[in-house]
Structure 1
């Protein structure tokens, strides 16, 4: 019991040491991204929320930015706005993403492009914009929200899974390019109870009808905070979190 209490207090102390850091969260207006923003805010991390429709009901240490991560000019504007309001961020969290459920022999390539531009190119644009400043500052954290779909082929999921597989290759490449200055973490959730499924470009599922149960977005956010709170010399490079009954 004493060991447990020591470890718990140690974790609390490490989270408290995040106070005053600055973060950028793409896709922070809803779902997993919004849960991450709320966790960061509670940890007293000043946070910029980038989304197509950033929420209005934000804490005083959270700044909203309207941004379409698929557009170069929008990411440039986000970078300029964050530099003006916050300065160089310590943390970049790429959570913006969309789903699609289409058969490869029947689907719409223009819709596939939307998914690739959001899930993959959006993250790449953010990395290119913000990580050089972290390298110059001598420290930083990048968190990429992936999916258990990465590396997992399944009918109707080819395009979505491909973007997440590519994202994880990007993450490992980035880790090797920026070590030991910047830490890189992939968080790969399974079925999560958010509006993600309602907002897929095509196809429709709910967390319930998939049939494995679901986890809450807060659980994913806790995993992100766990990785960020590790001492500077310790990297959590990948966390997979999913319902216990989910087979993949």
Structure 2
């Protein structure tokens, strides 16, 4: 039996757009209040969602976000790390400063969120952590080295965290294939689009629904990894 999420509280980084925003809509529909952290917040969010401007690459910003969430909603028992950015550069020609930005956002931002919020879950005796990875994890491909490396690292982080916090906190990785969001528009380098890749695309809502599937599992059941792709996607 799936569990009702009403009464739980969530934090979603990168919740202002894309997969994060779709998940905020799913959670608030399920009567879960959500603290939404993002650099670019939309003018409107669903009822039950509270916006917080937060740059996950900055430790001081996450500290301030944590303090505000703790004051306004207490300890959340769902943490979803969806903030991320892409880059498409050749390793022998790319810009190391841009690489550092991707590492700070995709990897260090997630680590800082874990460090801030998971201790409270352990103290409370329950919680769920969801990291948004990618099918690019573990998949070397030209021009994708930096992005794929950060997503591969996230999966190692997730498994490490799972072993460190079991059975109190469940840890899930959701690894989507090509998804039709503004991800490609916000890529630091590269001109790909969901259409140009040529496999078709998932919707942000479809990815969000897979996250909800993991969260709704009954106590004692952990969905540790979900991969979903357009059916035509080769890797």
Q: Aligned equivalents of 1:70 and 1:219: distance in 2?
A: 27
For structure 1, the 5+ residue unaligned runs are 1-9
Q: CA deviation at 1:26?
A: 0.2
Match of 1:27 in 2: 14
Match of 1:5 in 2: none
Match of 2:59 in 1: 72
Query: Could you give the per-residue CA deviations for residues 159-204 of structure 1, whole angstroms, max 9, x where no partner exists?
Result: 0000000000000000000000000000000000001001101111
Question: In the alignment, does 2:69 pair up with 1:92?
Answer: no
- Pairwise CA RMSD of aligned residues? 0.7
Within 5 Å, which residues of 2 pair with 1:37-52? Answer: 37-52=24-39
Q: How many aligned residue pairs are there?
A: 235
Question: In the alignment, does 2:146 pair up with 1:159?
Answer: yes
Q: Provide the TM-score with structure 2 as the length reference.
A: 0.99
Question: In the alignment, does 2:85 pair up with 1:130?
Answer: no
Match of 2:97 in 1: 110
For structure 2, the 5+ residue unaligned runs are none
Query: Could you give the per-residue CA deviations for residues 69-97 of structure 1, whole angstroms, max 9, x where no partner exists?
Result: 00000000000010011100010000000
Q: Please tell me whether Structure 1 or Structure 2 has the larger radius of gyration of its CA atoms.
A: 1
Q: Aligned equivalents of 2:234 and 2:114: distance in 1?
A: 32
Within 5 Å, which residues of 2 pair with 1:1-248? Answer: 10-11=1-2, 14=3, 17-248=4-235
Q: Secondary structure at the match of 1:106?
A: coil
Q: Secondary structure at the match of 1:235?
A: coil
Match of 1:4 in 2: none
Higher share of residues assigned helix: 1
Q: Aligned equivalents of 2:47 and 2:67: distance in 1?
A: 20
Q: Secondary structure at the match of 2:104?
A: helix
Q: Provide the TM-score with structure 1 as the length reference.
A: 0.94
Runs of 4+ in 1 over 2 A off after TM superposition: none
Q: CA deviation at 1:53?
A: 1.6
Q: CA deviation at 1:157?
A: 0.1
Q: CA deviation at 1:20?
A: 1.7
Query: Could you give the per-residue CA deviations for residues 53-80 of structure 1, whole angstroms, max 9, x where no partner exists?
Result: 2223112311000000000000000000
